[in-house]
């Protein structure tokens, strides 16, 4: 059997995993969810969930991957078998679903990069920008072309391999992402009137908090940290036994959270400075922000940088989603990386078509009262990821606990002092809390 490929360096792994975590979830979703859910209150609940359940599941996934040296399905099959690989199958299904609509939104960001260069976004009136956005996403052809371009880029990185593709792309793109983010934050927080946005994000208003807020924060945490579908199992499977895996999990969680908070600090002050509504929803980045940019000196330039930032963030995340599926076909089905990447890429492109069309000509077609796009988002982020996280915790806590403890200590032979706290979280707290929040959020309890 061929030896499994390993990451070239610790930094390479951390950047690739952070690249997976940092994505549209942080820059596009987080600020508008915070805007809709009372700002600071949402932030506090989010942080509490990320550093308890999120961090624990992150470590659990990485450990599973490294122990098994296998993809999301194969890892469960190798470590225990029985019905457990079903968790991996749900993860692979979630990967197909998430990437199909993720790539549609990522395509919008590429189109908006082009629009900022051509000057099409230099409009100060949000209503007009709203019609521009609405007109664009409901067009039956144009968004699909950008969706295709984005899938081609994603497939290209994945078929180039773990080291030569994923790790190399992350090492170039992630530093670029951090640099862009810093430039844009400095621009945003130095706008006159920006303090209102900062205060909004940092001072909690608990009157807006309901169980839906908490369950939104939980699904946002799973989505943002790339948990629950085996992305971190897959990336962990390329880790060498010498690595300090707990510290890597900590770094990835921290970086992802920092970027979410920083995106809030980038977007909300600018929105407040120009007197727009922070609870504008998913349109916040595509409608309100261009209006903000249009009112600034060199606005088109900053708009271009912003949509470039979004596109880069989306690409490194999309790569990890595709890798979940490709790793399975390469490990367990004996298919070459190249054929697997291209075939799966084409299938996911096709699955994205109804999502994109549901925002336009297929708009009247609903299932459970939701359009196709919203349904895909709901099923994956609200159900599959948290449920996946629940079973991953149970598996690590109850089925392979002894081996997992050994794996954590591999790099220096010392079992860390916090191991039992982690044990209590994966055995009891995470499964119970996830189940409770899910049921509350769905209105079952």
Residues contributing to the site for ligand PFF (CB under 6 A):
20-21, 23-26, 98, 223-224, 226, 229, 231, 317, 320-321
- Residues 385 and 219: their CA atoms lie apart, in Å, by 7
- Which C-beta is closer to ligand PFF: that of 231 or that of 273? 231
User: And the tokens for 154?
Assistant: 């994603």
Of 398, 75, 43, 355, the residue nearest 232 (C-alpha): 75
User: And the tokens for 52?
Assistant: 């308890």
Whole-angstrom CA distances from 308 to 113, 224, 236, 374 are 6, 19, 28, 25
Write down the least CB distance from residue 199 to ligand PFF, Å. Answer: 26
Which residues are CB-neighbours of 248 under 8 A, at least 6 positions away? 10, 13, 14, 17, 62, 239
Write down the least CB distance from residue 71 to ligand PFF, Å. Answer: 13
DSSP state of 209: -
Greatest extent of the chain over all pairs of C-alpha atoms, in Å? 62
- Which C-beta is closer to ligand PFF: that of 154 or that of 226? 226
Write down the least CB distance from residue 313 to ligand PFF, Å. Answer: 7
- Which C-beta is closer to ligand PFF: that of 310 or that of 353? 310
Write down the least CB distance from residue 336 to ligand PFF, Å. Answer: 23
Write down the least CB distance from residue 380 to ligand PFF, Å. Answer: 8
CA dihedral 343, 349, 355, 356 (to 10 degrees): -170
Whole-angstrom CA distances from 228 to 310, 321, 385 are 23, 12, 4
Write down the least CB distance from residue 229 to ligand PFF, Å. Answer: 5
Q: % helix / strand / coil in the chain, to the nearest 5?
A: 75, 0, 25
- Which C-beta is closer to ligand PFF: that of 26 or that of 288? 26
- Which C-beta is closer to ligand PFF: that of 90 or that of 98? 98
Write down the least CB distance from residue 295 to ligand PFF, Å. Answer: 28
DSSP state of 402: H
- Which C-beta is closer to ligand PFF: that of 90 or that of 194? 90
Of 186, 185, 217, 29, the residue nearest 109 (C-alpha): 29
The DSSP string of 82-129 is TTTHHHHHHHHHHHHHHHHHHHHHHHHHHHHHHHHHHTTT----HHHH
- Which C-beta is closer to ligand PFF: that of 227 or that of 291? 227
- Which C-beta is closer to ligand PFF: that of 224 or that of 248? 224
DSSP state of 226: T
Write down the least CB distance from residue 14 to ligand PFF, Å. Answer: 15
């Amino acid at each position: 059997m061929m030896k499994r490929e390993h990451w070239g360096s610790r930094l390479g792994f951390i950047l690739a995993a952070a690249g997976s975590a940092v994505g549209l979830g942080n820059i596009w979703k987080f600020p508008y969810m915070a805007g809709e859910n009372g700002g600071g209150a949402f932030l506090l609940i989010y942080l509490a969930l990320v550093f308890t359940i999120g961090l624990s599941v992150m470590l659990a996934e990485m450990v599973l991957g490294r122990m098994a040296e296998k993809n999301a399905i194969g890892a469960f099959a190798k470590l225990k078998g029985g019905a457990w690989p079903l968790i991996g199958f749900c993860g692979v299904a979630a990967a197909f679903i998430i990437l199909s609509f993720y790539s549609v939104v990522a395509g919008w960001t590429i189109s908006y990069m082009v629009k900022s260069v051509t000057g099409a976004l230099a409009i100060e009136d949000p209503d007009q920008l709203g019609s521009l956005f609405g007109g664009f996403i409901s067009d039956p052809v144009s968004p699909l072309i950008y969706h295709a371009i984005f899938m081609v880029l994603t497939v290209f990185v994945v078929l180039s391999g773990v080291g030569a593709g994923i790790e190399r792309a992350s090492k170039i793109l992630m530093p670029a992402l951090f640099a862009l983010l810093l430039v844009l934050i400095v621009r945003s927080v130095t706008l006159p009137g920006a303090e209102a946005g900062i205060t909004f994000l940092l001072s909690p208003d608990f009157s807006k908090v309901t169980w839906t807020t908490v369950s939104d924060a939980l699904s946002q945490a799973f989505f943002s940290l790339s948990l629950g579908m085996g992305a971190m199992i897959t990336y962990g499977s390329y880790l060498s036994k010498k690595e300090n895996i707990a510290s890597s999990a900590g770094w990835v969680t921290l970086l992802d959270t920092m970027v979410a908070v920083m995106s809030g600090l980038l977007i909300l002050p600018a929105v407040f400075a120009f007197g727009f509504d922070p609870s504008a929803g998913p349109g916040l980045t595509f409608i309100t922000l261009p209006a903000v940019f249009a009112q600034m000196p060199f606005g088109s330039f900053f708009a271009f940088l912003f949509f470039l930032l979004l596109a880069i963030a989306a690409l490194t995340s999309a790569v990890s989603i595709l890798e979940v599926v490709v790793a399975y076909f390469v490990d367990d089905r004996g298919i070459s990386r190249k054929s697997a990447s291209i075939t799966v890429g084409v299938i996911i492109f096709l699955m994205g078509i109804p999502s994109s069309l549901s925002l336009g000509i297929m708009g009247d077609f609903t299932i459970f009262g939701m359009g196709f796009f919203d349904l895909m988002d709901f099923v994956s982020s609200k159900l599959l990821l948290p449920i996946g996280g629940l079973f991953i915790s149970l598996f690590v806590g109850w089925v392979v606990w002894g081996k997992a403890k050994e794996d954590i200590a591999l790099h220096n032979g010392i079992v860390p002092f916090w191991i039992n706290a982690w044990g209590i979280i994966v055995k009891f707290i995470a499964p119970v809390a996830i189940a409770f929040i899910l049921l509350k959020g769905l209105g079952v309890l």
